[in-house]
Amino acid sequence: MSCPSTRRLLKESTDLHKNPSPYFTAAPISDSNLHDWHFTLAGPPSPSPYAQGLYHGRITFPATYPLRPPSFRFLTPSGRFEVNREICLSISGHHEETWQPAWGVRTALLGIRSEIFSSESQGQVGGMEGNDELRREYARLSLGWRCRECGVGNLEAMRELWEVCRERGIEVEGEVDGVNRAGVEGQREIEGPREIEGPRETVEAEANAPASSGDNAPVGKEDQAPADGAVESTPAAESVPVPSAHAPVPAAQAPAQAPLSTVQAPAAAFIPTQTSSPQLALAESPSEGVWLDRAIIGVIIALVLLILRRVANVDDL
């Protein structure tokens, strides 16, 4: 006898088959495991950047479903959710306190399409930030995306669904039908993303090529002169003696050494300070010698007086 979770999933699968929605298709991957589903969801209508996009994902149901909520993850890049990572929703396993057992796959996927895709992630688990241009590009590329696990292509699955909806009298909105027309005109299964990305990379390479080649020609010549000057400034500052700072500069070399003036100026400023220290030492040396001589003479006189006093004391004895 099947468990309540299996009976509930069988009921939902049958209901989706009898009463399909033109906005999504969902079914178990295999009949042997009803707790693992794949789905394909059409993006919300314009002006959403996800419009005309098809997004494939996976639903994992716990053994206690519907008492506990399922978990959702997207496998198709969208710019809104991280790829193949469980996302945080009020109807997912991250918020069991807000889950209602009466909800099911239909309620969850329609809620994701209408509410989640129209808001930003704001730091939620599994969400990501992106600009509208990137998300529109992902929407275009999603038409040729194919799942590696179940082997189903996004546009292929939705075309079959829309055909079934028309046969059963279910209206397919113009926005959703526009995805089909866009796929017929420009979709290339599997190789579609490569053909779309290729021209863009070529255009970017051609746009960058003139800039890089134009920069190398003039800038290289202008940069060589300062570079050479920088290399020559080091030996000039170290090897030039003090008199050379005042030596006249030849007229032919004046333009080439113009950038070096700013480098040699500090060296010339420091030269007097270096030469002034020996002069100060020479100026101070005579005064120090006189003081030492006087001290020595004083010590000698003191010794002589001390000796004479001792001699006088010996004579008295």
User: What are the catalytic residues?
Assistant: 88
| Three-class DSSP category at 291 | helix
Work out the burial of residue 54: count CB atoms within 10 Å of its CB; fewer than 13 is exposed, 13-18 middle, 19 or more buried: buried
Structure tokens, 76: 């198709």
> How far is Cα 190 from Cα 188, in angstroms, rounded to an integer?
6
> How far is Cα 236 from Cα 230, in angstroms, rounded to an integer?
10
One-letter amino acid at 66 equals P
Q: Which of 279, 246, 281 is nearest to 264 (CA)?
A: 246
Q: Which of 75, 76, 116 is nearest to 92 (CA)?
A: 116
List Cα–Cα distances, 65 to 15, 27, 34, 100, 159, in angstroms.
17, 16, 11, 11, 30
CB 107 within 8 A of CB 162: no
Q: φ and ψ at 5, to 5 degrees?
A: -65, -45
CB 117 within 8 A of CB 80: yes
Q: φ and ψ at 168, to 5 degrees?
A: -95, 10
Structure tokens, 194: 């490569």
- Would the CA dihedral through 244, 248, 252, 254 be positive or negative? positive
CB 55 within 8 A of CB 41: yes
Structure tokens, 286: 């005579």
One-letter amino acid at 138 equals Y
